[in-house]
Amino acid sequence: MSKSDKNFDRFFEISEKLICFTRHLWREFWSLIKQSGPMLLMMSLSGALTASIIYFQFDQNLIKYFKLHRFYPVGLNHIFYLIGVSMAGFIFIPVIQASRRLKMLKRLTQVFMDAGLKSPTGQLPHFISDTEIDCFTRRLRVSRNNFPLRSFQNAKEVLESGLCVYIDEVEENRERGFVDIVYSQKRLLEQFAIENIKKIPSGHFIVGRSRVQTITVKLSDVPHLLIAGQTGSGKSTFLRQLITGLYLNNPQFNFLLIDLKGGLEFQIFKNLYRIKVFSDVERAVLKLNELSTKLIPSRMALFNEYGVKDLEAFKKSILGKEQKTLPPTDMNRLIIVIDEAFEMFMSGGKMKSAQVEMARTAAHKIAAQGRAVGVHLVIATQRPDRFAVDPQIKANLTGKLCFRLPNLASSMTVLDTGRAKDLPNIKGRAVWQESMDELEIQTPLLTEEDAKTLLDEVRNLKSDTLENEDTKNQAQQNLILEDVFK
Ligand SMILES: Nc1ncnc2c1ncn2[C@@H]1O[C@H](COP(=O)(O)OP(=O)(O)OP(=O)(O)O)[C@@H](O)[C@H]1O
Ligand SMILES: [Mg+2]
């Protein structure tokens, strides 16, 4: 090869790299423009900074100071210089992003080769995008390049060690010919067991383990919960753990469990002091109605009388006062759990429309007013549409635990984001959303046998204390709750 041919090749190589870089630069620039938020702010700030350097002639003064006037551009060059400097601030961030992307491309090429994802014609999957899902998780999209999904799944370990990440899920989109690799820098456990369920702080419950910590929530901060997810994703298992944890650590809480999936899920909670299990939907609706029309108004009237705004304030206000001045009630929290809400909130089948209306009105009232009076609502459903969970009720269910859902629409209904559709197919994996925060978590696994063992210990114990307490506090029994617990 002659010298000129070599130069020619070199020229092509450099221009190819330059074009490639410019393309990435443009892509980054465009995506940053589209993004609002901190990146755009940083771009604008750096742009404003360079513009003010020119405006206040800092550059000229600096050049004069170092006696380098002859290098300062004049004439047409000066115009190019001004355009260049004023643009520099804006393109600074995209340049960094683009060079990062190129670095990643290089690394990916090597990793795909190591993982054996190279076709007989020597082609590798192409990088398409790498976007943020949440603060811990990202989605890398690459072309399938005719490789079956299995090849990517088999290469998971090589990809993980090559890219120094933990891969949660590999999904394909056959129609559009790409593969999504959902990954994170921090591992999220595939199974999480609470170390000692009897030691959860009083009034708190555990929602799961995030990539960095165990998420414990105070019931009075997140008084009502919506739990959604496709069949077999972990809703009832979560409820089992939630009820057991709250029951064991809060000897004064009362529970009303409505099991509309044939009465099997809450079997272990039957015959427990302070817990009432319903599996008949019609009776359950009547009880809900009773609570919303008797218990809530009576507690509210009492709080008005005492001039307090909620249960905690009420307890503080009566603390230290003479026993006889106490109202004739045990003002304790009541947790209402409904497993499979659409059985109750959808007409057709066993439910007549008048009963559905009664259930909805009662649930709405409890969700809206229950917080202050210590009545909590936990609703689980496979079908999170507006028929199963009324938008008005949903608006008051401030804590949302959403397991994997089959499509974007259902995920949007629960979370207002598509996050639940992107969850890996791991049992117990969910998105926890509370106000604006959204986290991917692994929910605690408490098997039915373990829960039964724990509850059996208390079951025998409680029947004794029940009698003692009953005689001791007879005068203070809450008549309305008594009525509900009949
Ligand atoms: N957090 C978890 N960790 C590990 N495995 C889990 C977890 N949650 C659930 N599972 C497994 O998934 C199975 C199904 O869970 P579960 O019955 O809770 O699903 P579900 O969402 O209630 O389903 P359905 O809507 O059909 O009632 C459980 O038997 C258990 O083996
Ligand atoms: Mg279930």
Which of 103, 127, 153 is the endpoint of a domain? Answer: 103
In the predicted structure, residue 21 carries a pLDDT above the cut 60: yes
Q: What is the mean pLDDT of residues 83-111?
A: 76
For ligand 1, atom 18: residue with the closest CA? 234
Distance 363 CA to ligand 1 centre (A): 25
For ligand 1, atom 16: residue with the closest CA? 234
Q: Which of 236, 405, 442, 443 for mutating ligand 1's site (highest number of atoms within 8 Å of CB)? A: 236
Nearest atom within ligand 1 for CA of residue 229: 21
Q: Which of 227, 230, 233, 238 for mutating ligand 1's site (highest number of atoms within 8 Å of CB)? A: 233
Do 424 and 277 lie in one domain? The reply is: yes
User: Is 227 within a domain?
Assistant: yes
427 CB under 6 A from ligand 1?
A: yes
Do 251 and 277 lie in one domain? The reply is: yes
For the entire predicted model, the pTM comes to 0.73
208 CB under 6 A from ligand 1?
A: no
pLDDT at 203: 93
Do 314 and 275 lie in one domain? The reply is: yes
In the predicted structure, residue 480 carries a pLDDT above the cut 50: no
Specify the CATH number for the domain of residue 159. Answer: 3.30.70
Distance 300 CA to ligand 2 centre (A): 34
Do 287 and 267 lie in one domain? The reply is: yes
Banded pLDDT at 95 (limits 50, 70, 90): confident
234 CB under 6 A from ligand 1?
A: yes
235 CB under 6 A from ligand 1?
A: yes
Q: Find all residues with CB under 8 Å of 186, minimum gap 6, and list them.
A: 136, 166, 211, 212
Do 229 and 152 lie in one domain? The reply is: no
User: pLDDT tens digit string along 227-240?
Assistant: 999 999 999 999 99
% of the chain with per-residue pLDDT over 90: 31
Range of the domain at 174: 115-187
**How many domains does one find in the chain?**
3
User: Is 1 within a domain?
Assistant: no
User: Is 192 within a domain?
Assistant: no
Which of 72, 103, 134 is the endpoint of a domain? Answer: 103
Which of 187, 222, 241 is the endpoint of a domain? Answer: 187
Distance 156 CA to ligand 1 centre (A): 25
User: pLDDT tens digit string along 325-347?
Assistant: 555 456 789 999 999 888 888 76
Do 152 and 207 lie in one domain? The reply is: no
For ligand 1, atom 11: residue with the closest CA? 427
User: Is 366 within a domain?
Assistant: yes
Do 335 and 234 lie in one domain? The reply is: yes
Beta bridge partners of 166: 184
Helix H or strand E encompassing 307 = none
Do 153 and 44 lie in one domain? The reply is: no
Do 397 and 317 lie in one domain? The reply is: yes
Banded pLDDT at 221 (limits 50, 70, 90): very high
Do 92 and 160 lie in one domain? The reply is: no
